[in-house]
Amino acid sequence: MAVYSALLIVYVSLAMCLAAGITYLNSPKHKFITFVFALWILAVQVLGTDMFTISFAKSTGFDLQFNRILLISFVLYLAWSKTKEMIRGERSHSYSFEKLLVLYYFLSLIVFLVHLNGVLTLREFVVVYSGWLTFGVFYFTLKCTVDEGMIKSILQALLLMGVFSAIIAVLQFSFDSNFMRIGIAREAFGGKIRSNGLFVAEYYQGYFLIPATIVAMVYLRSIALKTAVIAVNLVGIVLTFHRMSWIIALLIMVIYSLASRKKKAKPVYIVAALLTVLATGYAMKSSLDTRSSFVLERLLSDTVSGRFRFYEVAIARIQTNWLTGVGNTNTNAYYFDVLRSGQRFDSSGENVANIHNLFLNMGYFFGLPVLLSFCLFIFSMMKHFWKKALDDGKFYFIASGVVFMFICANLTNWFYLNTDVALLMAIVTSMSTRSIEADTITD
């Protein structure tokens, strides 16, 4: 384990050098902010481990994580930059989905205040709500600073991260499942462990490699390089053995292929798919046998029925507590609902994973007004970038594809705005608020 810890330190050092290198080569106006976002993409969950976290006294229950450092820094930057804008009399263009995001924050704050000192402690309120605000802070910081140099740096960081993490996923699956593993180890089939790559869980791996694949489809001009990078990313996605990641990756590639105006690009995805099949064939060679462990333990494993039972209970509770929800898991309502659902109950009250759906999860804990404002925000953002992709060029498919992935991913899981999947969406969508043609950034 000491060797793997040393490898993680080496990787973070490499990520810092790469982030600095691509920032220097692309010459953005805001070099330090570009460097920080590039580094975040290349090593966010590695930097979130205990090795890179500053812990204070246990009595405070607080530690200084990478994302929190960025939150504090960017809040100070936004306060400074907005003050300068007010002095100059400047105003930046705003979009309808940004106003809906502000509405979501406002309604959430009201609900949190309602539950404060009831089911929420002051510390929980500060930690959770500030975590949600990180999304907006990331978004508006990048929106205020983005230029073509920064966009290129972010896209290149995503491509590098995808390749690195996919290669590590192959090593984890083929040689040592613990190789550079920083998080949980879930079984795939036949004693094999799902590959996490450089992330704490296999679904995070999938939901970062999918955007990396979208970037490769949109950004890279070289057919050979595009094919190779897409194939490597798809291998990494396959080795997560996360079925929702498989489905979303397939849907996005099909949608992009149909929407692409360049017919010559379409064979790339066929070649990439064939290379993926060849590269992962040894892992799937028994899948044609309906009695194989791969089919029985992964493809046909039933992880849904239990969720539907809790969905039914959650919907019933939402109908009763529709205005502000139940607050959190430390309530009698949650305890009895879990028992009614027949799910295993964690007596500590920390087991919120029973509601594997962000939309039900949000309605259950925070009420329908918060849920409605969030849905309006997400779908308004999706509509905006999809229209931009159709009207103004394929560059905007990166943002619309990532928002589409976020919506689909949350049908079977829950990624609130403080999670890294949501923060990646904040980065990708905010850089896409700049009017730009795809041909000016592709290499």
Q: Which residues pair with 64 in a beta bridge?
A: 54
Rounded Cα distance, 169 and 320, in Å: 45
- What band does 199 get if pLDDT is binned at 50, 70 and 90? very high
In this predicted structure, the answer to whether residue 302 has a pLDDT above a threshold of 60 is no
Find out whether 142 and 431 touch, Cβ atoms under 8 Å: yes
User: Looking at residue 308, what is its pLDDT?
Assistant: 76
User: Looking at residue 287, what is its pLDDT?
Assistant: 44
Rounded Cα distance, 172 and 22, in Å: 28
Any idea what DSSP says for residue 292? Answer: S
Query: The whole model's pTM is what?
Result: 0.89
Question: Would you call 328 helix, strand, or coil by DSSP?
Answer: coil
In this predicted structure, the answer to whether residue 89 has a pLDDT above a threshold of 60 is no
In this predicted structure, the answer to whether residue 290 has a pLDDT above a threshold of 60 is no
pLDDT in tens, 322-359: 999 999 888 888 888 888 877 654 444 555 546 889 99
Looking at per-residue confidence, does 51 or 236 come out higher?
236
Rounded Cα distance, 201 and 276, in Å: 22
In this predicted structure, the answer to whether residue 264 has a pLDDT above a threshold of 60 is no
User: Looking at residue 348, what is its pLDDT?
Assistant: 47
Rounded Cα distance, 223 and 230, in Å: 10
pLDDT in tens, 148-197: 999 999 999 999 999 999 999 999 998 999 999 998 888 877 778 999 99
Find the range with the poorest average confidence among 43-47, 114-118, 274-278.
Answer: 274-278
User: Looking at residue 282, what is its pLDDT?
Assistant: 47
Find out whether 100 and 376 touch, Cβ atoms under 8 Å: yes
pLDDT in tens, 95-138: 999 999 999 999 999 999 999 978 888 888 999 999 999 999 99
Of the candidates 214, 244, 247, the one whose C-alpha atom is nearest the C-alpha of residue 229 is 214
In this predicted structure, the answer to whether residue 87 has a pLDDT above a threshold of 80 is no
In this predicted structure, the answer to whether residue 79 has a pLDDT above a threshold of 70 is yes
Looking at per-residue confidence, does 290 or 425 come out higher?
425
Find out whether 239 and 185 touch, Cβ atoms under 8 Å: no
Rounded Cα distance, 438 and 56, in Å: 46
In the predicted model, what is the mean pLDDT of the chain? 84
User: Looking at residue 319, what is its pLDDT?
Assistant: 93
Q: How many angstroms separate the first and last alpha carbons of the chain?
A: 40
